[in-house]
Amino acid sequence: MTEKEKKYQEMFLAEAFESQEELNNLFVQFEKDHDNEDTIETIFRITHTMKGNAMGLGYDGIAKLSHLLEEIFGHIKQKNITVDQELYDGLFKANDKLQQLLFGLKDDKKVTYQGIKTKLEVMLKKKLEDSNGNEGEKEEAPPSPSAPVEDTAAEEATPESEVKEEADTEDKKSTIVFSDQISIPISKLDGLLNLVGELIIEKDSIIAKNNGSSGHNFSMLHRITSDLQYGIMNIRLIQVGFLFNKFNRVIRDVSAIEQKEVELELEGTNIEIDRNILKIMSDSLVHLVRNAVSHGIESKEERAKTNKKQKGKVYLRAKNEKDTVIIEVSDDGAGIDAEKIKKKAIEKNVISKEIAEQMNKHEILNCVFEPGFSTSDEVTAVSGRGVGMDVVKRAAESIGGRVEISSELGKGTTTTMFLPSSMAVKGALLFNLFDQVFAVALSYTEAVVSYNKEQIRKTSSGLITSYLNKPISLIFIRDIFQMEDQSMDQKIDTRYTRFDQLPEDKKIDTLIVNHNNKMFGLVVDKFLQQKEIVEKKLEKPLDSNPLLSGATIMGNGNVCLVMDVASISNILSKELIREKVVL
């Protein structure tokens, strides 16, 4: 048995044991009040679900016995048969046998069930004949086509050894079952994770009070808190397939509205991610998939003209890279015309004509993430309202992720989301600024570099340096905090002031960050250390500051603010473009 099959078996058994125990209680209620329609309907639904799950996984004994119970209660629901004590006893014994089959599956032991199955089939057939005037007519209550009711020959076909073995166990009392799995409200896990965060902060505080000692005295404390933290984080992880599998219905519905033939292909469904992250991004994924069908996949006629298969394809892929989960939504459709995007962006005043002329293809495609932007000329049930892609971007950035879009005309479009695998803890780089400790997420960090002053050049649009033989913009973080309070003329006049004031031999500590394929350098006062932090959301009024995403508590009790690289990147991009136009 593969690891995946074992996991599915555990999930099945956890639900099946719970259902079997519920059937016990429902049978007791049914025996007291056999006319209660709610009880009958609930039993019918549970047996139907158990049958379907067992058939899907190839557990024949459980599937056949639960199907027979479903069939019996189908006839009871239609009032085709009457119930008596013999039937009550048979139902309880059948449920006990279901329990034995589940234990047999769990312990990999063979359990016979033909005796009770045959007994109930004969009982059902006799009651149906009685209800039809003992003439054997079944027009009003035909048996299920998938599993016809067997006659007494079935009983004769059952091996005597199996009947004897079952008879030996019939008098045994049913067993009280405790599942190996339990259901825990996610709120309890969140609370537990918050406590672990507090524990980590307290641990850092203890180490700080002991002059930063991290030797043998605290090695055990390090290990225990780390194991506890990652243990709880792993409990919160679920496979992306849990969400991906729901998109077959989404594709089906949107295809019907758009009158297109579309097939969904899933890859990497076993990749695990924090449940809360998947929940936050679920609506975004729905929008991206709907977009792929509505905007991406062409009509049958258009696909025929370009010699494409009539049925379009949408791909949902997931993969891991270090602590990042990458989710791709792609299609084999028409792709995005960058010129059309540019024209629409100018028409909707998203960008000016002057700015548009200076933008490359990647920057133009990013216009689809602007609020209110849509390439659709008509408003339909699926698209054209200009609501969606900006929400996707904000959702990803709110959890420390990012979104990228790439497209090739005539071949298709791919939207890629880079998401942290967990929201509980993140790697961060600490640095000094204004005599205050700040942090920036490592997911955005490419490198830390100390430049000499002579390695930095002044240009009309600001400071420029080189990283990996490529030119990148450079800006002092101190200047970013003052940017919003300055006019454009002031920014142009003062952009070099801080740089000019530095001594010639001064090492300039620079943080190289990357957001949406835009690489730039942020000058800090001093680098401190790399550290895992538990980030908390900011309360009012700091929550309105676009440069900050949250805060954490250091070991010395001081607050460390976390800088929002995504927001800084967006601000700088707009400022640099405006400056190019002004100059």
For the domain 3-170, what is the CATH code?
A: 1.20.120.160
The predicted structure's pLDDT at residue 216? 64
The predicted structure's pLDDT at residue 355? 78
CATH architecture of 426-582: Beta Barrel (2.40)
CA pair distance 541, 532, nearest whole angstrom: 26
The predicted structure's pLDDT at residue 359? 82
CA pair distance 41, 36, nearest whole angstrom: 9
The predicted structure's pLDDT at residue 188? 87
- The DSSP result for 361-411, as a single string, is HHHHHGGGGSTT----SS--SSS-SS-SHHHHHHHHHHTT-EEEEEEETTT
C-beta atoms surrounding 425 within 10 Å: 21
Q: Which residues of the chain have pLDDT under 70?
A: 133-181, 211-216, 374-388, 483-495, 573-583
The predicted structure's pLDDT at residue 154? 41
The predicted structure's pLDDT at residue 564? 87
Burial class (CB in 10 A: 0-12, 13-18, 19+), 354: exposed
pTM listed for this prediction: 0.67
The predicted structure's pLDDT at residue 133? 64
What are the residues facing 417 on neighbouring strands?
A: 327, 403
C-alpha distance across the termini of the chain, in Å: 68
C-beta atoms surrounding 7 within 10 Å: 13
Helix crossing, 216-235 with 186-209: angle to 10°? 160
Domain residue extents for the chain: 3-170, 186-235, 241-420, 426-582
Same fold, 3-170 and 241-420: no
The predicted structure's pLDDT at residue 344? 85
Task: Give the DSSP letter of residue 296.
Answer: I
Nearest residue to 93 (alpha-carbon basis) of 67, 72, 120, 75: 120
CA 121 to chain centre: 45
The predicted structure's pLDDT at residue 181? 67
Q: Which helix (H) or strand (E) holds 483?
A: helix 477-483
Residue 221: partners with Cβ closer than 8 Å, 6 or more residues away: 203, 206
Strand residues in 322-365 grouped as ranges (E):
324-331
- The 3-state DSSP class for residue 239 equals strand
Which fold would CATH assign to domain 241-420?
Answer: Heat Shock Protein 90 (3.30.565)
